[in-house]
Amino acid sequence: MSDESISPNPYGSPTTSGAEPIGQHQGAVNWLIRILLHTPGISRVVGKRLLMLRVVGRKTGKVYNVPVAYTRHEGTLLIGTTLRPWVKNLQAGNTVEVLLGHAAQPFDPVVYTDEQDVMRLYEIIAADNHANAKFNGIGFAADGTPNKADMYQTWQQGGVVIALTPH
């Protein structure tokens, strides 16, 4: 989004500058996480907060294995992220594979981009996983609830929520 399209934050001033930028070493970190998610024993520990999402390129057909943090909520898996190129490959009606533990399972994705849905779902994600909240630029109010101004800022900066429902 350009600065001209950003409207004032109706929830006040954010406590962060937004989501953490992707570091130059993120490729190496993702490579390591992929190995850990496939290693018996270790995958159970790592997989409590991370899963491997197998995304097929809509134009190229190339398979991408993307490690992401997730939150379980009411029978779905929620993933909070910014609108990265791989997210565009998640289309309603196209099943994706999710590696949880040692088994790949089919899931139906829905990508939420509108303000109300993103705010509502990011609140659930942030409350469940503080490390993920920090990575996405969401701090917490004095009472321990996710900061609404931060969640709004995350949405303004391209934050989306992916809901995966078992197929």
SS3 126: helix
Domains of the chain: 24-166 (2.30.110.10)
Reduced to 3 states, what is the DSSP secondary structure of residue 102?
Answer: coil
DSSP one-letter code for 86: G
* Nearest CA among 166, 164, 80 for reference residue 123: 80
What's 80's DSSP letter? E
Q: Report the chain's terminal Cα–Cα distance, integer Å.
A: 33
- Alpha carbon 5 to its chain centroid, in Å, reads 23
Who contacts 129 (Cβ-Cβ below 8 Å, separation ≥6)? 49, 69, 71
- Residue pLDDT tens, the chain, 167 long: 445 566 789 999 999 888 876 666 766 666 666 666 666 666 666 656 889 899 988 888 898 888 899 999 999 999 999 888 889 999 878 899 998 876 789 999 999 999 999 999 999 999 999 989 998 999 999 999 999 999 999 999 999 999 999 99
Residue 156 has, within 13 A of its CA and on its CB side, a CA count of 21
Q: What is the spatial distance between Cα 122 and Cα 148, in angstroms, rounded to a whole number?
A: 10
Type of residue found at 21: P
Give alpha helix (H) positions in the chain: 26-37, 42-46, 115-128, 130-135, 148-156
- pTM for the full model? 0.85
